[in-house]
Structure 1
Amino acid sequence: MKLLREPLVHFFLAGAALFAAYAFVARTPTQATDSQHQVRIGEADVRWAAETWTRQWQRSPSPEELRGLVRDILREEVLAREAHELGLDKDDAVVRRRLAQKMTFMIEDTSGSAEPSDEELQQFYRTHDQEFRREARVSFTQVFFDRARAGADAEARRTLVELVGASDATLVADKGDQLLIEPEVRDADEGSVAAQFGKDFARAVFALPPGTWNGPIESAYGLHLVRVSAITPAEQQPFPEVRDRVLEEWREVRRQEADKRYFNELFKKYQIVIDDSVKALVGSPETDLE
């Protein structure tokens, strides 16, 4: 039959045979009567193990490798159960965090909502327009003066007069002190300029008129004369250009809303008690749980 010639069918038949063998060898009278000590391996476990292996090694596991995967799953499961019986998971922050993480994944998997229509996305885009703006950008040339050097302030002011009156842009090359940052900055947003020179410097540069030398402007390094050559104002990005981003933002907002609804209901099941000593430090967080 054609179906029996399919490699995937062979793979899962082999897996089923392996698990049947394990079940036969591992079965005991205790397991037959005590479900608490029964370790069950199902098709989902096989599929997960095989897919994980394939993603890591870019090929399907061989029968021997599949046996090893099954053995690892069984060892992990029985060790986890023994550790639980011994109370090793009690007061363990790592275990608690991992369990909470698994619950979070489960909530997100089960709370997914239907995808929005284009009309819904465009409405979301309009009501969150500030998130989809292209930031203003600037291009400028700067001449640096090291304030640690005596007379740097006065030299910067003299140089400004020279540059304002000069018609030759090459005069910049031999002015000022050495700085590891390039004198030319092109098409940078305010955050990028701030990362290099500091927030106050970036704010001052974006307020300058283009085409003239200005300064001195102080940065984290010292003093600068600055000539802005171009400023591109901030603008709204067209919806077609940012549709994928809008969709991701929409999904994130819906996920947060679903989380909030879930936890609002979940917290109703528990009596939240905050010790007075803790309240003295952080207030009453139980009022913020919603």
Structure 2
Amino acid sequence: MFKRLLYEPLLHFLILGGLLFLFYSFSENKEESVDNIFVSQERITQLIEDSEKKLLKILTEEEKQELIDREVYENILYKEALKIGLDKTDIDMRRHLATKMEFVMYDTYTLPVPSDDVLKKFMLANPNDYREEQKISFTQKVLNSALNTFDESYTLSEFEASNIFGRTFAKELFSLAVDAKAQKIESDYAVHEVLISSKPTPKLQRFEKLREEIKSDYLSLQREQKNQTIYEALKLKYSINIEVK
């Protein structure tokens, strides 16, 4: 009977099916238990060069190995963090990844170099960002002083006034308009009677002096607008539901 069973097609099918099941089960478990970490030679070279620039010395073989070990260590912990969902539940990590993604978006496009005409138009469209520092001319006296006249005259920027009289005084001083009537302002050490004599609108600075600053501001705004456009396109891929109380 046993010999007859050996020739039964159904038995052959069941045995073969069982062997295939065991094989694929073993293969799947093996794939799930092993997660590859690959550190390329290019990455190793980058790690070594960055470290040598920072430390201003040539690394020993032991120090190079420590860098590689650290890279493997960080990769393992990073993968484990993803497995337990830290990228979804940890706010700091989520923000860090979002910030990194912004830099990735920067690399997806190249902004054209703006001409001087473009930069000058940008400067004129945002004049308050590129004016000379405003200065106010005023006279003041300390109340309850033995002198009963405006004995001190100044022409100061807000920063200069802050250094002499304190930030509170300077802020209030620059909020005043030119007026024939004296105003009382408190400084860090006394109460002053102040009369504004001149408060001219500061002039625009020379374009040549601020060219690089204007260029930086212009490109920064262009990147911000470009990133917003990319973000709006990405946003369309998601169904967003916000729970409201």
- Which of structures 1 and 2 has the bigger CA Rg? 2
Choose the corresponding residue for 2:234, options 261, 266, 272: 266
Choose the corresponding residue for 1:218, options 149, 162, 185: 185
| Cα distance per residue 1:140-161 (max 9 Å; x no partner) | 554333xxxxxxxxx47x95xx
Paired letter, 1:237: Q
| Cα distance per residue 1:244-287 (max 9 Å; x no partner) | 1110111111011111110110110001111132xxxxxxxxxx
Indicate how the Cα distance of structure 1 residues 61 and 130 shifts in structure 2: closer, same or farther if over 3 A, else same: same
| Cα distance per residue 1:45-94 (max 9 Å; x no partner) | 22431243134312342322111100100111112223333444441112
Indicate how the Cα distance of structure 1 residues 216 and 189 shifts in structure 2: closer, same or farther if over 3 A, else same: closer
| Contact preservation (8 Å) 2:178, 2:198 | no
The percent identity for this pair of structures is 22
Indicate how the Cα distance of structure 1 residues 240 and 37 shifts in structure 2: closer, same or farther if over 3 A, else same: same
Q: Which runs of 5+ in 1 are unaligned?
A: 1-29, 146-154, 173-183, 278-290
Is 58-67 or 237-246 further displaced after alignment? 58-67
Please state how far the C-alpha of 1:185 moved relative to its aligned partner. 6.0
Indicate how the Cα distance of structure 1 residues 49 and 226 shifts in structure 2: closer, same or farther if over 3 A, else same: same
Paired letter, 1:37: D
Matches within 5 A, 1:181-192: 187-189=156-158
Partner of 2:46: 48
Cα separation, 2, equivalents of 1:139 and 1:47: 61
Cα separation, 1, equivalents of 2:92 and 2:159: 40
Cα separation, 2, equivalents of 1:61 and 1:230: 64
Cα separation, 2, equivalents of 1:191 and 1:267: 48
Indicate how the Cα distance of structure 1 residues 239 and 75 shifts in structure 2: closer, same or farther if over 3 A, else same: same
Please state how far the C-alpha of 1:134 moved relative to its aligned partner. 1.3
Partner of 2:113: 115
Q: Which runs of 5+ in 2 are unaligned?
A: 1-26
Partner of 1:207: 178
Cα separation, 2, equivalents of 1:67 and 1:185: 65
| Contact preservation (8 Å) 1:39, 1:77 | yes
Partner of 2:81: 83
Q: Does 1:240 align with 2:208?
A: yes
| Contact preservation (8 Å) 1:198, 1:219 | no
Matches within 5 A, 1:1-290: 34=31, 37-138=35-136, 140=138, 142-145=140-143, 155=144, 159=147, 162-163=148-149, 187-189=156-158, 193=162, 195-197=167-169, 199-204=171-176, 207=178, 215-219=182-186, 223-226=191-194, 233-277=201-245
Q: What TM-score, normalized by structure 1, do the two folds share? A: 0.61
Please state how far the C-alpha of 1:128 moved relative to its aligned partner. 2.3
Higher relative contact order (CA 8 A, sep 6+): 1
Paired letter, 2:212: D
Cα separation, 2, equivalents of 1:258 and 1:220: 46
How many pairs align?
A: 212
> What's the secondary structure of 2:175's corresponding residue?
helix
Paired letter, 2:178: A
Please state how far the C-alpha of 1:136 moved relative to its aligned partner. 1.8
Partner of 1:175: none
Cα separation, 2, equivalents of 1:191 and 1:253: 31
Cα separation, 2, equivalents of 1:45 and 1:34: 25
Paired letter, 2:221: V
> What's the secondary structure of 2:107's corresponding residue?
helix
Cα separation, 2, equivalents of 1:240 and 1:128: 16
